[in-house]
A and B are shown apart, each in its own frame.
Chain A
Amino acid sequence: MLSRVADNLFWFGRYIERTEHLCRFLRVQYFSSLESPLEIQNEMALHSIMSMVGMPVEENHLLEEDVLLVVAMDESNPSSIKSTVQQARENARGARDLISTELFNIVNKFYRFTHDYPEEYYKTRGLYDFTQTNIENCAIIKHNIQNTLLHDEIWAFINMGLHLERAAQICRIIISKLENYYKLEEMKASATIMSYQLGVLLRSCEGLDMYRRTYKTSPVLNNTLEFLVLNPDFPRSILYNITKFQEYLAEIWPYKQIRKNSIEWKIGRIKEYLTYSTVEDFEKKPIEFVEKTLDYLYNLTNMLSKEYLSY
């Protein structure tokens, strides 16, 4: 397979996953802020939305409408939802001859949906519809990835993109929401509010229900961290996604001899490290820990590009 096409497939996976997370995050933040008891929570929600798309803002008073537009509709903003969908589609086009017609057509249809979505409608009533339909489309696309492609290296590169992006997005969500959490703690917010804030974090990762099944309590900090970072069975935990990434990477070149400092070697190390970590190791400084993990993921992307995707 051409390196450029592998690059397209990898980024196709990443953009689909990114779109899904952006949509979910936007929806959860927006609707949870509607029922926040504190004004500051509303403000925080808007700020965390902006930082999720990589546009952190200094000023305090953000206009809700501006934020919601920039994040979803603004085609000149490369991190907006419209843009990520377009990127996903352009990358799929770059590999169009290798993926199934079913997969390409649904991606293209998805692109047409977001591209033509009326801004006015979105502003007034469409936020739920827009984000929800997008999330559903991402699900259909993933279904097509799993069920209409040969499970070969083409499929593996897309999946590597999906899992790497998911791990990165979960890191960013944790960082963003924990910052809010500590701010509220400083302000001596009530235990209910603190727990609510962790609930928002879990919902942003679509993990509140499974958290409850695992811990049978309302969210507390160390359990939440353990669940999102180290749970080996929860498909949105960081460990789970790194494990998957390693598995798909092994599909590319099954009998490859693993050299020191190669990507295979590095991913093996981080996986072992996380597998034998406990939440006590980092609950004191969780943001620092997650930031370090995020750096690690960036590093993996660079190595993957160098070793497999350069052209």
Chain B
Amino acid sequence: MKTASAKDLFENYEIDIEKFDEVYDTNGEVRKAYKSIHKYLSSLDLDGFKRYNEAAKLSFLIQGITFATYNENNQGIERIFPFDLFPRIIPKNEWKHIEDGVIQRNTAINLFLEDLYNDKKILKSGLIPHELIFSSGNYLKQMLDFVPPGRIYNHISGTDLIKHKDGNYYVLEDNVRCPSGVSYVLSNREAMKKTFSNMYKKFKVALITDYAEKLFECMQSVAPEGVDEPVCAILTPGIFNSAYFEHAFLAQSMGVELVEGRDLFVENGFVYMKTVYGKQKLDVLYRRVDDDFMDPLVFNPESALGVPGIMSVYREGNISLINAPGTGAADDKAIYAYVPDIIKYYLDEDPILSNVQTYRCDKEDDCKYVLENMDQLVLKPVDQSGGYGIFIGNKATKEEIEEMKQKVLHDKRSYVAQPIMSLSVHSTFIEETNCFEPRHIDLRTFTLLGKDKSFVLKGGLSRVALRKGNLIVNSSQGGGSKDTWVIQN
């Protein structure tokens, strides 16, 4: 049997100068930050590398770091979220820019939400058309004329960034409705440490282990008034939820209870947990249940995942919810286009991170442009997440373009369009070909806002589109992930 030589792992690597390659520059030279890790990986032969790879995969499976899709008899088909051993590296100075940028952006979004639900100054100024907000299903009347404890709405924000071929970072999407994925960041790091301990030691990788502690501090900082030692919990839809691992992981890391809706009830203006010793008052709830399912009394009456009456308790100030309900009014893709204006309006600062040019189909000029240039644009439904319903113009057939045009004309408010951004690529091990190949990546960052405090997880989740040429990195669409290392220059 032929032993794979060291070179084999990167042998077929093709550098496409049309795209920004994170590892190689346009001359095919390995970038400075990647030099030693590249050298290390090149020193491994295929068998050796595959052993590491299999061991890492197995460790995910044994820990149950899986997401499941359930069929009718509830026998879940479990998959691990594919994980790539070649870490993405971000030099510290570059990271500083990102960190400042996402804090600025999410701080502005927080002020925007408070304004939207109270004075509505930004709407009265005419900067954002009020119809855009009032027609959004995510703008909740249950949140009007109310300010949550600590004046924080988006305690946890997931800001998705991409690097364009110009080498600059752009914000692709804001996620302020309890974004997920942070447990993968922490598990990926554990896996990397175990697998490549020798190499990991050599780098001064910024630590991420403080996330749970910071999240806990953030939760405590927004406790209801007068509560000094708040009882905190995480609300999960239950063990069948695809992100259950993350919910349990976070509860365990923070040492707080992991509760389901049926464990809670409202009495006398407070929320209580049902424990073996009777009822216990709950003060701060990080809920991983969507707005619509939180309170069957005021939202979806069919919901069994929530707690009847909890919204009233919330408005009384007797429980804090993380994130606040109704934050979806701010991360809608139609609002995205206005975020630079929002930053300017509330903070009087220029945005640190750029937006991708966005055309809103409900604006006449924009719509005309979109309809005429469908083949060069990406169209996204404004109220979907998870990469669903995305239309990529240069990959579509004539019929598909025509069909999309009709959809847009039929419901203009529901679509935005953006130029096809060229996401940067990163060397990624491809099992089918047994070697490293370039694949598109993005970066989900995690920002915490508490009362008078903010924190950004150093690194975040680098998501990889594993299918060749694919631009969609979401796990539901066949994406994987990489560990992200923020290192000293």
Contacts and interface: CB of A to CB of B under 8 A. Distances in A.
Contact of A75 (B75, B239, B257): B75
A90 interface: yes
B241 to A, nearest CB: 11
Contacts of B258: 5, 96-97
Interface size classification for chain A: 20 to 34
Given A93-B239, A93-B244, A1 B62 contact: no
A4 B62 contact: no
A188 B478 CA distance: 68
Contacts of B273: 2
Contacts of B61: 112
A76 B273 CA distance: 34
Given A90-B239, A94-B239, A253-B277, A4 B263 contact: yes
A153 interface: yes
Interface stretch (A103-111, A174-182, A208-216, A226-234): A103-111
B1 interface: no
A311 interface: yes
B456 interface: no
A16 interface: no
Contacts of A101: 63
B259 interface: yes
Interface in A230-272: 252-253
B262 A4 contact: yes
Interface in B263-292: 263, 273-277
Contacts of B239: 90, 93-94
B257 A2 contact: yes
B73 interface: yes
B251 interface: yes
Contacts of B251: 97
A158 to B, nearest CB: 13
Interface residues of B, number: 23
B275 A1 contact: yes
A121 interface: no
Interface in B49-81: 61-64, 73, 75
A98 B277 CA distance: 17
B174 interface: no
A274 to B, nearest CB: 27
B263 A2 contact: yes
B19 to A, nearest CB: 39
A12 to B, nearest CB: 12
A105 B248 contact: no
A101 B186 CA distance: 15
Q: Which of A6, A75, A94 has the most B CB atoms < 10 Å from its CB?
A: A94
B252 A3 contact: no
A97 B62 contact: no
Q: Which of B61, B75, B239 has the most A CB atoms < 10 Å from its CB?
A: B239
Contact of B276 (A1, A93, A94, A105): A1
Given A97-B258, A112-B61, A311-B263, A6 B248 contact: no
Interface of B: 61-64, 73, 75, 239, 244, 248-249, 251-252, 257-260, 262-263, 273-277
Top 3 closest A-B pairs, CB basis?
A: A97-B251, A97-B252, A96-B248
